[in-house]
Chain A
Amino acid sequence: MSDIETIIREAYADQVLRVPETALPGMVRRRRRRQVGAALAVALLVAVGGVTFAMRPFQGANLVAAVPESGASRAYCDRVGAEQLRDDERVAAPDRTLPSTVVSFGERGQWAHLYLGERVIVSCVGPHHGLAGEPDSAETGVLVEIGTSPYDDPAEQWFKPQDMTSWGQSFAGGQSYRLVAVPAGTLRAELVLADGTIVPATLAAGLAVGWLPTADDQGLLADGVAVRAYTRDTLHVLSDGEVKSSPR
């Protein structure tokens, strides 16, 4: 082992996870107890959505990859998504988690379903490294994650079109997606990377979504990534956390 490897290993050698194993089943039990309300919401959701979350996949012009409408991957999304909603204490009972929108988009062989609720997102992405959940072949692994609103005030609007609030998820394998609230009347939107690369975004229900070619360290839009939203008369540009509008 080299000198520098020794320094690094020793630097981390005293890092220990302070969570006792006995806490894990307790965490799961406590979460489930707290999720009666969320479970009811899921039941309502299932009843409305018909067995699954699936409501109305967006058929956008930028839909490149085939998004599975059925089959093992989709069934896994729906089942695990429901389980995570039920188990996740962050989805509090007052949060009526009935998804109002389903966005499906894909590119470069990947696809994503985002089930958007009032205060929660269930993101389901595949294939994912072969290291996510079933169906667990290297080509068809699926990652299901829940995101909740960062705002403590339930009345606070999660996605603010005027601020072009963004949300995203990065993955260790080198890809990420971005979801941005765009102003009313947006006809077209795109993500602009630091090197000038333009990534077309799919529009759905006041939101623009798109894959970035690489993952970055931020769940928010990384520095150097801008979003352009074109309405009929105005160009809105989100850059460095600020929105600037100008006539087209």
Chain B
Amino acid sequence: MDDFSDFYSSRKDRVLRVVGAASGGRDAGIEDAVAEAFARAYAGWSRVSRHPDPTAWVMLTALNIQRSWWRRIRREVLVSTFSDPAPVADRVDVPAAVQSAIAELPRRQREVLAFRLLGDLSPAATAAALRISESTVSVHLSRALATLRARLTPAADEPAVRAPRDAVDQAARAAGR
């Protein structure tokens, strides 16, 4: 299962980010869905590992799980059921402005953005995963970035939307002064 360990450790955060962005990021069940998708991959690793793109498989599985209506209604907080959870850091939220801007994109644009930008899938892999052409991937990504640029990139006299780490760095610098 070392194989799976490598897969899990190298993909888990990436899959979380993809599902978070592709789904609009407003559902607290995202982490549960990603965990469940990996659990399914674990249980069927002999099969999943032979898949042409196991990462995309987990991403899509997690997306499907997350989207399921019953999961939204009857949410299970899987994290709380672990008997020996490793120490974890507190959750760091995606900046509201970024999350909101992405959530307002059309669904397909969100998916393409998430798979390409946060999932680091190639245009070909993204096209295969979403069952669209590579040119469509390109168009959706271009439109999504244009919309987000208009929403999130400041005009000359406005502050930019900063990522959390930037904010922390800024605060640290300010405190050090």
Contacts and interface: CB of A to CB of B under 8 A. Distances in A.
Interface of A: 2-5, 7-28, 30, 87, 90, 129-134, 136, 138, 143, 145, 147-150, 152, 167-174, 215-220
Which 6 residue pairs of A and B lie closest in terms of their CB atoms, listed nearest first? Answer: A219-B69, A10-B163, A150-B73, A173-B131, A20-B86, A14-B92
Contacts of B22: 172
Contact of B12 (A17, A143, A172, A215): A17
B43 interface: yes
B86 A15 contact: no
A130 B102 CA distance: 27
A13 B163 contact: yes
Contacts of B81: 27, 30
Interface of B: 5, 8-9, 12-13, 15-17, 20-22, 24, 31, 34-35, 38-39, 42-44, 47, 50-53, 56-57, 60, 63-65, 67-70, 72-74, 76, 78-79, 81-86, 88-89, 91-92, 94-95, 98-99, 102, 107-108, 111, 113, 117-118, 128-132, 145, 148-149, 152-153, 160-161, 163-166
A148 B74 contact: yes
A172 B60 contact: yes
Q: Which of A12, A19, A143, A215 has the most C-beta atoms of chain B within 10 angstroms of its own C-beta?
A: A12
Nearest to B13: A16
A205 to B, nearest CB: 20
Contacts of A169: 64, 67-68
Contacts of B108: 174
Contacts, number: 188
Given A7-B160, A21-B5, A130-B128, 12 more contacts: A7-B163, A8-B118, A19-B82, A24-B35, A131-B57, A131-B128, A138-B128, A147-B69, A168-B69, A172-B64, A172-B130, A220-B69
A131 B43 CA distance: 17
A4 B16 contact: no
A84 to B, nearest CB: 9
A19 B94 contact: no
A17 B130 CA distance: 23
B82 to A, nearest CB: 4
A215 B68 CA distance: 12
B20 to A, nearest CB: 6
12 contacts: A4-B148, A4-B153, A7-B163, A15-B20, A19-B34, A22-B86, A26-B84, A131-B57, A134-B47, A172-B22, A172-B111, A172-B129
A230 to B, nearest CB: 26
Given A15-B92, A19-B78, A131-B56, A8 B164 contact: no
B131 A129 contact: yes
A11 B94 contact: yes
A132 B65 CA distance: 13
A13 B21 CA distance: 12
A87 to B, nearest CB: 7
Contacts of B13: 15-17
A28 B31 contact: no
Contact of B89 (A10, A16, A26, A173): A16
B54 to A, nearest CB: 10
Contacts of A22: 84, 86
